[in-house]
Amino acid sequence: MSRLIVISNRVSAPQGSHSGAQGGLAVALESALREMGGIWFGWSGEQIESFSGQVNLQRGDGYTTATVDLEEQDIDEYYNGYANRTLWPLFHYRIDLAEYERGFAGGYQRVNERFAETVRPLVEAEDSVWIQDYHMIPLGQELRKRGCRNRIGFFLHTPWPPRRLLATLPEAHELVETLFAYDVIGFHTEEWLQSFCDFATIEMGATSEEGGDVIRYRGRSVRVMICPIGIDADAFRKLSESETARRTCEQMQLSAVGRAMIVGVDRLDYSKGLEERFLGYERFLTEHPEERKLVFLLQIAPPSRASVQSYQHIRNALEGLSGRINGAHADLDWVPIRYVNQGYPRDVLAGVYRASRIGLVTPLRDGMNLVAKEYVAAQDPEDPGVLILSRFAGAAEQMREAVLVNPYSAEEISDAILTALQMPRDERIRRWRAMMDGIEREDVMWWRKRFTDALTAVPVAAE
């Protein structure tokens, strides 16, 4: 069986377990690599004085990691610049925050060329190459230029912006054209896929074939597919029953002193709707004074991309909001918001999820959001909590039994919190069971198999 070569911006060293404080994507890719074997290539996260292309190999747990260091200019232009200050806000519909700088675009292209040059010798003839996310859109084309005839797939973990928004990117046509170097492109939802097809067909003159599953442009055809990512549901369920998770759950229940806990776990990012969430919770406290001392909100928000100014702004705004809300509503024996700026291992988070009555997952726009799925997987089947989920998260397409809300509406968030607190146990169980069935059915192995089956079905290019 051919190996899988996964390429992503950042690489996690083999951990041997799921208890590390890793994001959902890292855990998903590790699961796929353990299943198929292969190499995970990407940036080490480290800085070097001058780019050398030297690859650091680390073997273990069924696959090998291969990482390279980047120089300061690469990090500034490719990562902090084009990835985080141009594409990320644009792909999350925040063109007001997007910065269109030629230097950023040049650095993005240069680093993708360096990645292609470095990883090409590691790719064997029968391997399938699976490139992940918006950091590496041009990488497939760069590999093709270097003679790579392997099957190459690309998966986008973020939303894809509507045609008119993408058109604001100066190099939009060139960027989209590079995607036609791939054999298969995967999206989480029909909306993201359709937005891509709209731009390719309307703005660039590409043609749609096979009922919209294949898009052709200038002699190249690419298959597009909906392939929502899942979690390792069984592993996370077991994690929620581990000793660490049980201890954490008990500690949280003791600290709640009989109050219902609402939990939010998000990177500190403007796409996560944290300001809007706090305002919705504040509305609940104001509109339902009889309920307010019966609940508290625990918001865990580890900082990310601290060098980008928009992230510094969101941190300052949340600190101000949480202070204002606590100052206005707190009492001697109760604080309405516990706001924590650090990350925790996954087994600890599993215990926090299990102890909470409500999971509050309200991004303004999100490609998927695996926290929503992990929250459901961690629940006690006999007495599950309630998931409140943004309609604008990709997960909402699969998790219709959640209490769905418009995250921009403080009223809807307030109403949803009251609904969740008053929801009868039998209804909570019914909703949880339906969501858990879907999470178990369309788990990370289903995601990996669905995509790689489509990729390996593609005929290999002739020499």
Per the annotation, the verdict on 333 as an active-site residue is no
Query: Which position among 74, 232, 269, 366 bears the catalytic label?
Result: 366
444: Cα within 13 Å, side-chain hemisphere: 22
10 Å Cβ neighbour count for 310? 18
Q: How far apart are CA 21 and CA 35, in angstroms?
A: 21
As a whole number of angstroms, the longest Cα–Cα distance in the chain is 75
Catalytic residue check, 366:
yes
One of 157, 183, 266, 269 is an active-site residue; which one? 157
Residue 74 CB contacts under 8 Å (≥ 6 apart), including other chains: 51, 107, 110, 111, 114
- The encoded tokens of residue 28 equal 């998903």
Q: CA quadruple 68, 74, 77, 80: dihedral positive or negative?
A: positive
Q: Any idea which residues carry the catalytic annotation?
A: 157, 366
